[in-house]
């Protein structure tokens, strides 16, 4: 009962006093830097083949929106994509539910699956199945 009273009191305080967050925002100096690279979302088979032709090395993340381990490792992959060590790798991801033909062609059997493609070849140079951050970092270092 007392916690509800405090919530109401705080809410009332904000509404009745001159509490305006915009006054504080002018004194804070925020800057946003755009990431050097990102993980590109590929939405078609043609888009994947085009990326394969245009980039020397591709890291492909095959994921599903309902997959818990996929959600857990996605920020780690995004951090790697912004790392200067991996600047020559094109990071991409496909949703296996949206592209079932491509998933079948690549032989995806579990999520997440990470694949490295080199020199425009449709055959992966290396494949990692599962959300293993250490193995993912090792795989990237090997092909960087």
* pLDDT digit string, tens, across residues 62-80: 999 999 999 999 999 999 9
Which carries the bigger pLDDT value, residue 30 or residue 82? Answer: 82
Nearest to 124 by CA among 137, 110, 105, 99: 105
- 136: part of which helix (H) or strand (E)? helix 133-143
Q: How many Cβ atoms sit within 10 Å of the Cβ of residue 131?
A: 21
Give the Cα separation of 77 and 38 in Å (integer): 9
What Å distances lie between residue 89 and 12, 15, 54, CA to CA?
53, 51, 12
Residues belonging to the active site: 67, 70
User: Is residue 96 within 8 Å of 108, Cβ to Cβ?
Assistant: yes
For the chain, the average pLDDT equals 83
Tokens of 28: 């804070």
Lowest mean pLDDT among 9-18, 44-53, 98-107, 110-119: 9-18
User: Could you tell me the pLDDT band of residue 27, with boundaries at 50, 70 and 90?
Assistant: very low
Share above pLDDT 90 across residues of the chain, in percent, rounded to a whole number: 71
Correct CATH for 39-143 of 3.40.630.30, 1.10.1330.10, 3.40.710.10, 3.40.30.10? 3.40.30.10
User: What pLDDT is recorded for position 97?
Assistant: 94
Instruction: Indicate if the pLDDT at residue 35 is higher than 70.
Output: no
User: Is residue 126 within 8 Å of 139, Cβ to Cβ?
Assistant: yes
Which carries the bigger pLDDT value, residue 117 or residue 31? Answer: 117
For 33, how many CA atoms within 13 A lie in the half-sphere containing its CB? 4
Give the Cα separation of 4 and 21 in Å (integer): 24
Instruction: Indicate if the pLDDT at residue 25 is higher than 50.
Output: no
Give the Cα separation of 103 and 36 in Å (integer): 28
Q: How many Cβ atoms sit within 10 Å of the Cβ of residue 17?
A: 8
User: Could you tell me the pLDDT band of residue 144, with boundaries at 50, 70 and 90?
Assistant: confident
């Amino acid at each position: 009962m007392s916690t509800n009273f405090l919530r109401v009191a705080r809410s009332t305080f904000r509404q009745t006093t001159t509490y305006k967050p915009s006054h504080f925002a002018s004194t804070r100096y925020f800057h946003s830097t755009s990431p050097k690279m990102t993980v590109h979302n590929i939405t078609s088979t043609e888009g994947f083949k085009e990326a394969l032709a245009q980039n020397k090395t591709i890291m492909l993340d095959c994921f599903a929106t309902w997959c818990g381990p996929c959600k857990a490792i996605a920020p780690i992959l995004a951090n790697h994509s912004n790392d200067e060590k991996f600047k020559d790798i094109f990071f991409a991801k496909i949703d296996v539910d949206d592209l079932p033909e491509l998933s079948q062609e690549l032989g995806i059997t579990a999520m997440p699956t990470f694949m490295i493609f080199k020199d425009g070849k449709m055959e992966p140079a290396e494949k990692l199945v599962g959300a293993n951050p250490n193995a993912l970092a090792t795989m990237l270092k090997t092909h960087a």
